[in-house]
Amino acid sequence: MAIFIKDVLLNGETTSILIENDTITGIGKNLSMPVSGVSPNKKDNLTVIDGKGKGKAVLPTFANMHTHAAMTLFRGYGDDHPLEEWLNEWIWPAERNLDEDIIYWGTRLACLEMIKSGTTLFNDMYFFTDAASRAVADSGIRAMIGFTGFDFFNPETAEKMKKDISEWYNNLGHSSTQSSIIPVVAPHAPYTVSGDTLVWLADFAAERNLHYHIHMSETESEVANSMKQYGMRPYTRLAKLGILDKMSSRFIGAHSLHLEEEEIKLLGDHHASVVHNPNSNLKLGSGYKFMYQELRDAGVNVTLGTDGCSSSNNLDMLEATKTMALLQKGWRGDPTTMPAKEALKVASLNGFRFAGINAGKVEAGAVADLLLIDLDNIGFIPNNDTLSNYIYSSHSEAIVTVICNGQPLMQNRQVEDEDLIKREARRVAKKLLQK
Amino acid sequence: MAIFIKDVLLNGETTSILIENDTITGIGKNLSMPVSGVSPNKKDNLTVIDGKGKGKAVLPTFANMHTHAAMTLFRGYGDDHPLEEWLNEWIWPAERNLDEDIIYWGTRLACLEMIKSGTTLFNDMYFFTDAASRAVADSGIRAMIGFTGFDFFNPETAEKMKKDISEWYNNLGHSSTQSSIIPVVAPHAPYTVSGDTLVWLADFAAERNLHYHIHMSETESEVANSMKQYGMRPYTRLAKLGILDKMSSRFIGAHSLHLEEEEIKLLGDHHASVVHNPNSNLKLGSGYKFMYQELRDAGVNVTLGTDGCSSSNNLDMLEATKTMALLQKGWRGDPTTMPAKEALKVASLNGFRFAGINAGKVEAGAVADLLLIDLDNIGFIPNNDTLSNYIYSSHSEAIVTVICNGQPLMQNRQVEDEDLIKREARRVAKKLLQK
């Protein structure tokens, strides 16, 4: 399998790109098209994409580092209500209806939306991981699939959860040969999982080299509760429990919005990652003063996510990137902070780095996750600055081609099975939301 | 001229809509299609739009109440620089190159972008008003075109400006028969126009029943300067000068971001309007705590705008509406504030109300400014709540049809002259940005 992208704009220069299997193997102005495919017996496996005509630019794809993919089925359901009412009266009753069928098609819908908006990696935390993994594999995208754990401070629930996660992992070991799925240990949050279980899960993850994905410091009240209950802030407690030591760069804290200097230093010292979810934080009224600069300067790997569609309400990373960049400038009162290039790095390279995938950049030797944008889209007219127009002016509809791991998942905005996925998603949404 | 929209979703119910000339004349489930056009001699002038199939919903169009339309040519130019450097080294030197040709095609580009994102009225403040007005008329959209005034506290400049604006108005009286253009008096700001001239312009506008459009309290430093120079805040000064009294509901203050209670009360007492520009305020680091609730509760007509593409960086009102709603929830820490329905009212009805146009609603008797959205767009799947999906999840690309004053300006996302406008815009952008 090879792809030759001819005459495309990369960092302002017209060039060509050769992709062989899952890797970018050549970039250059005078790169010539493989005459008969890459190897003699694969001559029919060459895809040629022309960047000329009205012009196309190539950019890395997005890594959406905090999602609840199947919750896309909740899009627009119970919006504009207070948080507790929304959970108690809208979301939780419906979640009792969840089954494999709902999760499979909900996740397919999420993957479709992510492919159409240029995302090729997401970090998921939800239920029915087998069904979700099948949906990811069938979509051709890649994902870190978290086994979500809660024990609600109940020792019996904790024992059951430990049993379930061990089973899950053992079954993975036998059945999963998909390199596109990275299994992750995902305790929900320090206020829904006991300290003992959090530590047990960190040991479980560390022994198996798994990543650790957890909601952290999303709201002020959860920080206040932690102070009241444990006499310390959530990240200080996680460090005291030894979890940051055990997980180090395999740790990722979603939201991480309400932080103090001491916690930022702890995160940096442990080479941890965090995920900023600006649209979700705004919509739920959780806050907006995300400490990007401070985290970056302390050595934390800052990534970006959309969160689930129940709060974001889409999975569009280009939109999230714009919101992130604008919000940093806005609350700091500084138009020079987080320029377009840095915003894209957070939304792309930093996420792939956490997953240990050599993507998020268009370079020879990198994994071939990339996208093409149509410079005839109105957001690029006139095109005084391609990257600036991409982040601040255009929408994801300007993205016309998406390649993941060397495989084209979208060409001319066409994705396989789009109509089927929409039809099935509408069907299972009815099942999910029936009273 | 008549349009019959068959089987379209309006507020959750399937209905049909008849438009005759510029007015919505009928809405109803059993409304039958005019058999031979509206009047016997106009039978070929009936356009039928089918809302069935995969489903379409009808909504009012947007009113973008603060723009500098031709500045669309600056899109992405000099982004991420400090404000003073951006103005002194990027924008102002280029503006010396402005001419009729540049303004005409820059405004055509702006109109194209606005039509494609569902806007049918905008309130503009820039230069070469004749060229801008021609572009508006040729686009089929409608606009309030402001004559921008500066005197920089120089009496000679003030005299010239008064002469220019009188000439402008007299020429309008003779040449303009376009009902789609509403002339407006637009002094730039209280820190670039002297008090005497601000008052003279208010008298000029009041005598002729013109609207008055001015930048107000965009940055904290301009408020601090007003306190230092005049011992009062900008709106207090405007009221003392008698301008709010003279203009009343014909007054609109762009930005109006840094306000105190006393100023909000003055605005409400005078039935004035303000324009919120959330994306521009964030991007320039001007602030974000727009006092929506307080202004609304004081009786102020709050409208929405994008500002120019040099700071926003697009003219997409759907995106601005989402940013506005999210930002209100975010900085107030309240997910129930500004629900989708109220956000759309600010972005649509309130703008048309300021202009004195009976649009911004889909009702029999209203002016026929409306749009259709494609419910098969991924932002509407599943469609648990059309309005919520529209504001929080979808992009303007879901808008497929736009009707302004009873005339279809976009059908199936096709707008007349799109390729020509893009080509000419690229040409004049080069001319504008040459050193």
Contacts of A74 in chain B (CB under 8 A): 384
Check CB contact under 8 Å for B75 and A389. Answer: yes
Continuous H helices in A140-232:
155-175, 195-207, 220-230
Alpha-carbon span B42 to A124, nearest angstrom: 59
- The SS3 call for residue A23 is strand
Contact present, B94 and B71 (Cβ < 8 Å): no
Q: Which residue, A146, A233, B223, B334, is CA-closest to A136?
A: A146
CATH C-level class of A2-59+360-416: mainly beta
Q: Give chain A's end-to-end CA distance (angstroms, integer).
A: 48
Burial class (CB in 10 A: 0-12, 13-18, 19+), B50: exposed
**Distance (Å) from the alpha carbon of A248 to chain B's nearest alpha carbon:** 31
Read off the tokens for A248. 């180090």
pLDDT at site A175: 44
Q: Please state the length of chain A.
A: 435
* Mean of the per-residue pLDDT values of chain A: 94
Contacts of A430 in chain B (CB under 8 A): 382
* Contact A384/B at CB under 8 A: yes
- Other CB atoms closer than 10 Å to residue A42's CB: what's the count? 15
* Contact A425/B at CB under 8 A: yes
Contacts of A86 in chain B (CB under 8 A): 335
Least confident of A126-140, B58-72, B77-91, B109-123: B77-91
- The SS3 call for residue A161 is helix
**Distance (Å) from the alpha carbon of B219 to chain A's nearest alpha carbon:** 10
* Contact B330/A at CB under 8 A: yes
Continuous H helices in A371-417:
386-388
Which of B86, B329, B384 is the closest to A282 by Cβ?
B329
Check CB contact under 8 Å for B395 and A396. Answer: yes
- Other CB atoms closer than 10 Å to residue B393's CB: what's the count? 28
Can you give the C-alpha Rg of chain A in angstroms? 22
Chain B stretch 14-73, residues whose beta carbon is closer than 8 A to a beta carbon of chain A = 73
Given a cut of 90, whether residue B179 has pLDDT beyond it is: no
Burial class (CB in 10 A: 0-12, 13-18, 19+), B192: middle
Contacts of B378 in chain A (CB under 8 A): 112-113, 116, 422
Could you say which DSSP state residue B120 is in? Answer: E
* Contact A293/B at CB under 8 A: no
Contacts of B376 in chain A (CB under 8 A): 422
Contact present, B214 and B125 (Cβ < 8 Å): no
Alpha-carbon span A169 to B239, nearest angstrom: 70
Task: Assign B175 a pLDDT band (cuts: 50, 70, 90).
Answer: very low
Check CB contact under 8 Å for B326 and A282. Answer: yes
Q: Please state the length of chain B.
A: 435
Which of B76, B287, B288 is the closest to A388 by Cβ?
B76
pLDDT at site B1: 84
Check CB contact under 8 Å for A326 and B382. Answer: no
pLDDT at site B85: 86
Chain A's closest residue to B314, CA to CA, is: A393
Chain B stretch 195-254, residues whose beta carbon is closer than 8 A to a beta carbon of chain A = none
Contact present, A145 and A181 (Cβ < 8 Å): yes
Could you say which DSSP state residue A394 is in? Answer: -
Given a cut of 60, whether residue A373 has pLDDT beyond it is: yes
Give the mean pLDDT of A290-309: 98
Phi, psi at A358, each rounded to 5°: -80, 60
Chain A's closest residue to B81, CA to CA, is: A336
pLDDT at site B360: 98
| DSSP-assigned beta bridge partners for residue A201 | none
pLDDT at site B45: 81
* Mean of the per-residue pLDDT values of chain B: 94
Contact present, A41 and A25 (Cβ < 8 Å): no
Check CB contact under 8 Å for B336 and A82. Answer: yes
* Contact B425/A at CB under 8 A: yes
Which of A319, A330, A385 is the closest to B76 by Cβ?
A385
Please state, for a pLDDT cut of 90, what percent of chain A lies above it.
87
- The SS3 call for residue A66 is strand
Check CB contact under 8 Å for A335 and B82. Answer: yes
Which of B287, B335, B383 is the closest to A285 by Cβ?
B335
Alpha-carbon span B23 to B26, nearest angstrom: 9
Task: Assign A258 a pLDDT band (cuts: 50, 70, 90).
Answer: very high
- Best to test chain A binding among B72, B284, B312, B393 (most A CBs inside 10 Å): B393
pLDDT at site A40: 47
Q: Quick one: fold of B2-60+359-416?
A: Urease, subunit C; domain 1 (2.30.40)
Q: How far does Cα B300 stand from its chain's mean position?
A: 17
Domain definitions of chain A by residue range: 2-59+360-416, 62-355
Alpha-carbon span A114 to A109, nearest angstrom: 9
Which of B285, B330, B340 is the closest to A288 by Cβ?
B330
Longest dimension (CA), chain A: 69
CATH classification number, A62-355, choose in 3.20.20.140, 3.90.1580.10, 3.30.379.10, 3.40.50.300: 3.20.20.140
Alpha-carbon span A366 to A403, nearest angstrom: 13
Task: Assign B41 a pLDDT band (cuts: 50, 70, 90).
Answer: very low
Alpha-carbon span A66 to A123, nearest angstrom: 5
- Other CB atoms closer than 10 Å to residue B296's CB: what's the count? 18
Task: Assign A172 a pLDDT band (cuts: 50, 70, 90).
Answer: confident
* Contact B426/A at CB under 8 A: yes
Contact present, A3 and A372 (Cβ < 8 Å): no
* Contact A108/B at CB under 8 A: no
Could you say which DSSP state residue A209 is in? Answer: T
pLDDT at site A322: 98
* Contact A334/B at CB under 8 A: yes
Could you say which DSSP state residue A214 is in? Answer: E
Please state, for a pLDDT cut of 70, what percent of chain A lies above it.
96
Given a cut of 60, whether residue B42 has pLDDT beyond it is: no
Q: Which residue, A320, A357, A360, is CA-closest to A338?
A: A320
Contacts of B41 (CB under 8 A, 6+ apart): none
Chain B stretch 251-270, residues whose beta carbon is closer than 8 A to a beta carbon of chain A = none
Check CB contact under 8 Å for A384 and B313. Answer: no
Give the mean pLDDT of A48-77: 93
* Contact A331/B at CB under 8 A: yes
Q: Per DSSP, which regions of A264-376 are E strands?
A: 273-276, 301-304, 370-374
pLDDT at site A81: 83
What's the pLDDT tens digit per position in B121-150? 999 999 999 999 999 999 999 999 999 999
Which of B383, B393, B426 is the closest to A382 by Cβ?
B426
Check CB contact under 8 Å for B378 and A113. Answer: yes
Read off the tokens for B229. 């120079």
pLDDT at site B269: 98
pLDDT at site B5: 96
What single letter denotes the amino acid at residue A17? Answer: I
Alpha-carbon span A333 to B69, nearest angstrom: 25
Chain B's closest residue to A311, CA to CA, is: B392
What's the pLDDT tens digit per position in B304-315? 999 999 888 999
What's the pLDDT tens digit per position in A109-149? 999 999 999 999 999 999 999 999 999 999 999 999 999 99
Taking the CA atoms of B213, B217, B218 and B221 in sequence, report the sign of the dihedral they define: positive
Which of B313, B330, B381 is the closest to A282 by Cβ?
B330
Least confident of A59-63, B76-80, B129-133: B76-80
Report the DSSP pairing between strands A13-20 and A211-216: unpaired
SS3 per residue for B394-420: CCHHHEEEEEECCEEEEECCECCCHHH
Check CB contact under 8 Å for A76 and B378. Answer: no
* Contact B293/A at CB under 8 A: no
**Distance (Å) from the alpha carbon of B356 to chain A's nearest alpha carbon:** 31
| DSSP-assigned beta bridge partners for residue A368 | none
pLDDT at site B88: 87
Check CB contact under 8 Å for B384 and A330. Answer: no
Whose tokens are 């109220």? That residue is: B342
* Contact A105/B at CB under 8 A: no
Contacts of B399 (CB under 8 A, 6+ apart): B116, B117, B118, B318, B371, B372, B373, B374, B410, B413
Alpha-carbon span B24 to B17, nearest angstrom: 7
**Distance (Å) from the alpha carbon of B36 to chain A's nearest alpha carbon:** 37
CB pairs under 8 A between A and B: 185
Given a cut of 50, whether residue A174 has pLDDT beyond it is: no
